[in-house]
Amino acid sequence: MTRAAAAAAALDIEGLKAGDSGAWREVMSLHGPSLLGYATRMLGSRTTAEEVVQDALVKAYKAIDRFDGRASLKTWMIRIVHNRAIDELRRNKRYVDLPDDDPEASYFDGRGKWAEGFPTPEKHIDAKRRLAQVREAMDGLAHSHREVLLLKEVHGLSTDQICEALEISPGNLRIRIHRARKALRAAVVDPGTEA
């Protein structure tokens, strides 16, 4: 068990439910940075993300009595941040959802790596510049694409955790990840293409 996993397992849920400020400080030090990172990447603005995370944490504090432990505390909190971020995106009319019917074949192998024969970005440009390009492309992706890539690739959540946080089935998650990777690839390889 990793150090972070051990710390998460040791969180005092009863202390949280009792309003213990020490338990809440521990939750914030353990999960706060990743919640803020997730919200920042979803919203594209650290200032807005800070407001969203603060609102989400107030909601979590008020709703902690309803936390039943079926999901991890981190997953539960990501779901609250996710919902609040969606509200913010909709409020700003930046939310775009895409249909689930995509007939195109995958550019990725079964491990989620670039398929054989695809020219790797490192052959064309240095790693720092490529990373900046990928980040810019991520910001331009549709919300449904950006959120699954952030949760899977950046925050390292498992399929079960992502499905719980987004309230979707594993099959739907696989489809979303496939489409998100395809859209990201198109945006990075051909920046003129719409993501």
> Domain holding 29: CATH number?
1.10.1740.10
CA–CA dist 138, 57 (Å, integer): 26
Q: Which of 58-62, 105-109, 162-166 has the lowest mean pLDDT?
A: 105-109
Is 99 contained in some domain? Answer: no
Is 153 contained in some domain? Answer: yes
Q: How many domains does the chain have?
A: 2
CA–CA dist 42, 15 (Å, integer): 31
Mean pLDDT value across the chain: 77
Let me know whether 18 and 63 are in one domain: yes
Let me know whether 61 and 134 are in one domain: no
* pLDDT number for residue 28: 87
Let me know whether 15 and 56 are in one domain: yes
Let me know whether 12 and 79 are in one domain: yes
Band of pLDDT at residue 191, cut at 50, 70 and 90: low
Let me know whether 127 and 185 are in one domain: yes
Percent of the chain with pLDDT over 90: 10
pLDDT at 154 > cutoff 60: yes
Is 137 contained in some domain? Answer: yes
Q: Where are the alpha helices (DSSP H) in the chain?
A: 3-9, 13-17, 21-43, 46-63, 73-91, 127-140, 143-149, 159-166, 170-189
47-98 pLDDT, tens digit each: 999 999 999 988 988 888 888 888 888 889 999 999 898 888 877 765 444 4
Let me know whether 24 and 87 are in one domain: yes
Is 139 contained in some domain? Answer: yes
Given a contact cutoff of 8 angstroms between Cβ atoms, the answer to whether 148 and 162 are in contact is yes
User: 160-174 burial by CB neighbour count: b if 16+ within 10 A, else e?
Assistant: ebbbbbbeeeeeebe
141-153 pLDDT, tens digit each: 888 888 888 888 8
* pLDDT number for residue 35: 92
Predicted TM-score (pTM) of this structure? 0.55
Neighbouring residues of 170: CB distance < 8 A, sequence distance ≥ 6: 159, 160, 163
Let me know whether 182 and 139 are in one domain: yes
Let me know whether 9 and 70 are in one domain: yes
- Domain range for 132 is 121-189
9-33 pLDDT, tens digit each: 556 788 888 888 888 888 888 888 9
Let me know whether 82 and 126 are in one domain: no
Is 96 contained in some domain? Answer: no
Q: Report, as an integer, the average pLDDT of 41-51.
A: 88
- CATH at residue 158: 1.10.10.10
Given a contact cutoff of 8 angstroms between Cβ atoms, the answer to whether 182 and 118 are in contact is no
The token duo for 8 is: 């998460």
